[in-house]
Amino acid sequence: MLETESNERIRDLFEAAHAADRPPAFDRLWTRAGRRQRRLLHLVPVATALLLVLAFGWLVVSSIGQGEIELSEADAQALAESLSTWRGPTDFLLDTPGSEYFFSIPVLEVRVPGNGAYGTQQEVLQ
């Protein structure tokens, strides 16, 4: 009899210690989720109206500057030259140390045994 009372007391203490660990009741979660959903439904018309205003503003702004620009031959030539020589502000990052080796053919210096000749591979072979 002592053993069952002790077990019940331990079980009661364990339940009291872990009462905060229990998940909340499902009904309470379900009603809270329904309230949030109703709040979000009020935002749909506001978001739609905002998107319509933005789309209308974009159409107005994009239709304003649709006139064609006339350039003289000299201006067109100057514009083409300036665009062809333009370098971006971060182009220097592409020039890494040692990149010159990627754009050249290596030239090997060869020392011929015997006569001590020194030179490039093409000079020695001639």
The pLDDT value recorded for residue 104 is: 81
Per-residue model confidence as pLDDT tens digits over 36-78: 666 667 778 888 999 999 999 888 887 776 667 778 889 889 9
- 124 neighbors 117 (Cβ within 8 angstroms): yes
For residue 38, give the 3-state DSSP assignment. Answer: helix
- Cβ partners under 8 Å of residue 124, min gap 6: 110, 112, 117
Per-residue model confidence as pLDDT tens digits over 7-27: 888 888 988 888 888 877 888
Q: CA-CA distance, 61 to 59, in Å (whole number)?
A: 6
| Cα distances (angstroms) measured from residue 89 to each of 25, 37, 79, 94, 112 | 61, 49, 19, 11, 49
The pLDDT value recorded for residue 53 is: 93
**49-86 b/e (C-beta count within 10 Å ≥ 16 → b):** eeeeeeeeeeeeeeeeeeeeeeeeeeeeeeeeeeeeee
